[in-house]
Amino acid sequence: MAKEVVKKVKLQIQAGKATPAPPVGTVLGPAGINLQEFCTKYNEATRDKMGDVLPVEISIYDDRSFDFVIKTPPTAFLLKKYAKIDKGSVKGSTESVGKLTKEQLKEIAEIKLPDLNCYTVEEAMKIVEGTAHNMGITISE
C-alpha cells in the first residue's frame, strides 16, 4: 500500500546551507519530520549549486517520512546574478538598473526551461525577458 501524503511544503533555501533553525525549523518542525535528516539530505543534494537560492517542494507522509524535489532557481535571482545587481528597479520597466545580452538571456532560459510552462528555449526566453523587463533590466543584442 502506498504512503499517503499528509502535507506538501514549499521553501526557498540557499543551496548547501539548510539548518534546523528558522525558516526550515519553523515550517517543518510542526510536521514532525526529522529536521537534521532533511537538512543533511538537502545540503548533500545541493552542494554543487552553493550560493544559489533553490526552491524545494517537500512531501510529508503519514508515517513522518518525507521526500523532496529541488526546482530551478527563481528567475529574478538568476537575472540579478547575471546582471550583477543587488535588486531590481523600484519603478519597474521605466527605470533601467542593469543590462543582459541575448546569450545571457538564453543561458537563463535554458536553466529555467524544466520548470516553465513552455516547450522551446525561444518561448522560455520570452518569459524570462518579460521578467527582466519588469525588473528594469534591458536586453541588448
Cα 34 to Cα 58: distance, rounded to the nearest angstrom: 13
Domains in the chain, please, with CATH? 5-70 (3.30.1550.10), 75-140 (1.10.10.250)
Cα 63 to Cα 109: distance, rounded to the nearest angstrom: 39
Give per-10-residue mean pLDDT for the chain (141 aa).
Answer: 77 82 80 83 84 85 85 85 81 78 87 84 87 84 75
Question: What's the predicted TM-score (pTM) here?
Answer: 0.74
Residues in the chain, how many? 141
pLDDT at 98: 81
Cα 127 to Cα 2: distance, rounded to the nearest angstrom: 38
pLDDT at 2: 64
pLDDT at 64: 81
